[in-house]
Amino acid sequence: MKVLKTLVTCLLLTSLVSCAKQSESKEKVIEGRVENLLSKMTLEEKIGQMNQISSLGNIEEMSVLIKKGEVGSILNEIDPVRVNALQRVAMDESRLGIPLLIARDVIHGFKTIFPIPLGQAASFDPKVAEEGARVAAIEASSVGIRWTFAPMIDIARDPRWGRIAEGCGEDTYLTSVMGAAMVKGFQGDSLNDPTSIAACPKHFVGYGAAEAGRDYNSTFIPERRLRNVYLPPFEAAAKAGAATYMTSFNDNDGVPSSGNEFILKQILRKEWGFDGFVVSDWASIKEMVTHGFAVDDKEAAMKAANAGVDMEMVSYTYMNHLKALIKDGEVKEKVVDDAVRNILRIKFRLGLFDNPYVDEKRASVMYAGAHLAAAKRAAVESAILLKNSKNVLPLNEAVKTVAVVGPMADAPYEQMGTWVFDGDKTHTQTPLKAIKEMYGDRVQILYEPGLAFSRDKNLADVSKAAAIAARADVILAFVGEESILSGEAHCLADLNLQGAQSELIAALAKTGKPLVTIVMAGRPLTIGKEADLSTALLYSFHPGTMGGPALADLIFGKENPSGKTPVTFPKMVGQIPMYYSHNNSGRPATRSETLLNNIPVEAGQTSLGCTSFYMDAGFDPLYPFGFGLSYTTFEYSNVKLSSTELKKENVLTVTFDLKNTGKYQGTEVAQLYVQDKAGSVTRPVKELKRFTRVELKPGEKQTVSFELPVSELAFWNIEMKKVVEPGDFGLWVATNSQSGKELSFKVVE
List Cα–Cα distances, 27 to 31, 34, 188, 268, in angstroms: 6, 10, 17, 20
Question: Which of 488/503 has CB closer to ligand GLC?
Answer: 488
* Residue least distant from ligand GLC (Cβ): 149
Smallest separation, CB 313 to ligand GLC (Å) = 7
User: Is 282 an interacting residue with respect to ligand GLC (CB under 6 A)?
Assistant: yes
Integer Cα distance of 654 and 733 in angstroms: 9
| 609-618 long-range contacts, CB within 8 A, separation 24+ | 611/587, 612/585, 612/587, 612/588, 613/589, 614/574, 614/575, 616/572, 616/574, 617/571, 617/572, 617/574, 617/575, 618/571, 618/589, 618/591, 618/593
Looking at 202, 436, 542, 686, which residue binds ligand GLC (CB under 6 A)?
A: 202
Smallest separation, CB 161 to ligand GLC (Å) = 13
Smallest separation, CB 78 to ligand GLC (Å) = 13
Nearest to 71 by CA among 316, 388, 305: 316
CB atoms within 10 A of CB 718: 11
Smallest separation, CB 107 to ligand GLC (Å) = 8
Question: Which of 202/436 has CB closer to ligand GLC?
Answer: 202
User: Is 422 an interacting residue with respect to ligand GLC (CB under 6 A)?
Assistant: no
User: Is 108 an interacting residue with respect to ligand GLC (CB under 6 A)?
Assistant: no
Integer Cα distance of 231 and 246 in angstroms: 13
The DSSP call for residue 267 is I
Smallest separation, CB 193 to ligand GLC (Å) = 23
Question: Which of 203/341 has CB closer to ligand GLC?
Answer: 203
Question: Which of 207/673 has CB closer to ligand GLC?
Answer: 207
Smallest separation, CB 546 to ligand GLC (Å) = 25
Smallest separation, CB 149 to ligand GLC (Å) = 3
Question: Which of 281/668 has CB closer to ligand GLC?
Answer: 281
Q: Which amino acid is residue 282, in one-letter code?
A: W
Integer Cα distance of 181 and 237 in angstroms: 8
What contacts 60, CB < 8 A, 6 or more positions away?
A: none
Sign of the four-CA dihedral 467, 468, 469, 471: positive
Smallest separation, CB 148 to ligand GLC (Å) = 9
Question: Which of 105/299 has CB closer to ligand GLC?
Answer: 105
What are the start-end ranges of the H helices in 257-351?
A: 261, 287-291, 297-307, 317-327, 333-349
Integer Cα distance of 538 and 387 in angstroms: 7
Cross-sheet strand order for the sheet of 743-747: 645-646, 743-747, 727-734, 666-676, 687-696
Percentages helix, strand, coil for the chain (3-state, rounded to 5) are 35, 20, 45
Smallest separation, CB 143 to ligand GLC (Å) = 17
| Known catalytic residue at 281 | yes
User: Is 488 an interacting residue with respect to ligand GLC (CB under 6 A)?
Assistant: yes
Cis? peptide before 588, omega within 30° of 0: no
Question: Which of 288/546 has CB closer to ligand GLC?
Answer: 288
User: Is 105 an interacting residue with respect to ligand GLC (CB under 6 A)?
Assistant: yes
Question: Which of 293/745 has CB closer to ligand GLC?
Answer: 293
Query: Strand, helix or coil at 448?
Result: strand
Longest dimension (CA), the chain: 85
User: Is 171 an interacting residue with respect to ligand GLC (CB under 6 A)?
Assistant: no
Nearest to 384 by CA among 626, 581, 176, 129: 626
Smallest separation, CB 488 to ligand GLC (Å) = 6
Nearest to 648 by CA among 699, 604, 711, 702: 711
**Roughly how many angstroms between the first and final C-alpha of the chain, as a whole number?**
41
User: Is 149 an interacting residue with respect to ligand GLC (CB under 6 A)?
Assistant: yes
Question: Which of 149/348 has CB closer to ligand GLC?
Answer: 149
Integer Cα distance of 418 and 489 in angstroms: 11
Compute how many residues bind ligand GLC; rule: CB under 6 A. Answer: 6
Catalytic residue among 281, 310, 461, 676: 281
Integer Cα distance of 449 and 453 in angstroms: 9
User: Is 281 an interacting residue with respect to ligand GLC (CB under 6 A)?
Assistant: yes
Cis? peptide before 205, omega within 30° of 0: yes
Decide if 178 contacts 186 (C-beta within 8 A). no
List Cα–Cα distances, 563 to 98, 566, 667, in angstroms: 46, 9, 9
Integer Cα distance of 196 and 85 in angstroms: 21
Question: Which of 130/281 has CB closer to ligand GLC?
Answer: 281
List Cα–Cα distances, 530 to 502, 509, 561, in angstroms: 7, 9, 20
Decide if 245 contacts 276 (C-beta within 8 A). yes
Beta strands 666-676 and 687-696 are antiparallel
Smallest separation, CB 377 to ligand GLC (Å) = 26
Hey, which residues are catalytic here? 281
Chain contacts with ligand GLC (rule: CB under 6 A): 105, 149, 202, 281-282, 488
